[in-house]
Structure 1
Amino acid sequence: MTNILTAKELQQKIALAEAAKASAALKAHEAAEREKHEMMERLTRPSGLSDDEIVEKAAAIVNRAVENGQTSVQVFRFPHSICTDNGRAINQAEAGWEKTLTGVPKEIYEFWKRQLQPRGYHIRFETLNYPGGMPGDIGIFLSWV
């Protein structure tokens, strides 16, 4: 014959299940935070790619956009916090905004200046969203018209 648990035993069972859920949620949150931290670390350092490797990647992105009839394309997206001023100068379109760039975004800007601007390409850095009313992610766009 099957035993029926007491109300106290049921409450303990529920408490254990809730604790397990909370523990799993905490572990998932910690993993997401670690992943976010690792991504920020990667983005704040140069990629290590050569100009030839960057040209190859840029050509693939631009050619795909042209095949789709586009005259510009977003080539990168990054969190505002990578900028030394949290993206304020970009958001305000201030002169010298490019001096606030670090890591990969800075590398992309410098590559454009060296390789793509002389070929007639334009670059635009734009705040893409405003979570909580504050600048969020920034997009890097290349155009050729």
Structure 2
Amino acid sequence: MPAADYVTAEDLRQLMMSAEERRHRERVEAEERARKAHDELVARFRDSHLTEAEKHALINHFKEAAERDEKELLVCRFPSDACTDGGRAINNSLPEWPDTLLGKPRDIYDLWHEHLHPLGFRLRARILEFPGGIPGDAGLFIGWSV
């Protein structure tokens, strides 16, 4: 093999450093994209509101779930960061957890409180996952069993 085909140990070390720097840069960029997507999702939940069509669809979903012999329905899954306290009150079952809701989750709570609760429906909120040990998505469940 000609001498020009050989590489030095230093060449390989440089290649390894370049590859590691590229992987690190790609990781940082991926984390930034994920953080940006998460922030956009949080903003969508905080800024959006429940439409009349969604309210009617919700009632239809209740009926479909009851026909499947289900007793409750997950009506909203949202990032706990969409709560004013990052989901702490929901996670700790504090009585003031509804006060931390904004946007569509708050609209769902208000719909339940004003219209569904008097009709015998119950509402539960809980943290659904804990990525990295911190509250992730939260869920609002509306049930009709006794």
TM bucket (normalised to shorter chain) is 0.7 to 0.9
Contact 1:91 1:135 in 2 (8 A): yes
Rounded to whole Å, the distance in 2 between the matches of 1:95 and 1:126 is 13
Question: Partner of 1:138 in structure 2?
Answer: 138
Which amino acid is the alignment partner of residue 36 of structure 1?
H
For structure 1, list consecutive stretches of 5 or more residues without a partner in the other structure.
Answer: none
Question: Partner of 1:65 in structure 2?
Answer: 65
TM-score by length of 1: 0.78
TM-score by length of 2: 0.78
Question: Partner of 2:51 in structure 1?
Answer: 50
Contact 1:46 1:107 in 2 (8 A): no
Contact 1:128 1:137 in 2 (8 A): yes
Measured after TM superposition, the shift of residue 116 of structure 1 is: 2.8
RMSD: 2.6
Identical residues among aligned pairs (%) = 34
Contact 1:89 1:100 in 2 (8 A): yes
Measured after TM superposition, the shift of residue 91 of structure 1 is: 3.8
Matched, 1:109 2:109: yes
Contact 2:43 2:82 in 1 (8 A): no
Deviating more after overlay: 67-76 vs 53-62: 53-62
Measured after TM superposition, the shift of residue 24 of structure 1 is: 1.3
Question: Partner of 2:79 in structure 1?
Answer: 79
Deviating more after overlay: 30-39 vs 94-103: 94-103
Q: Secondary structure at the match of 2:140?
A: strand
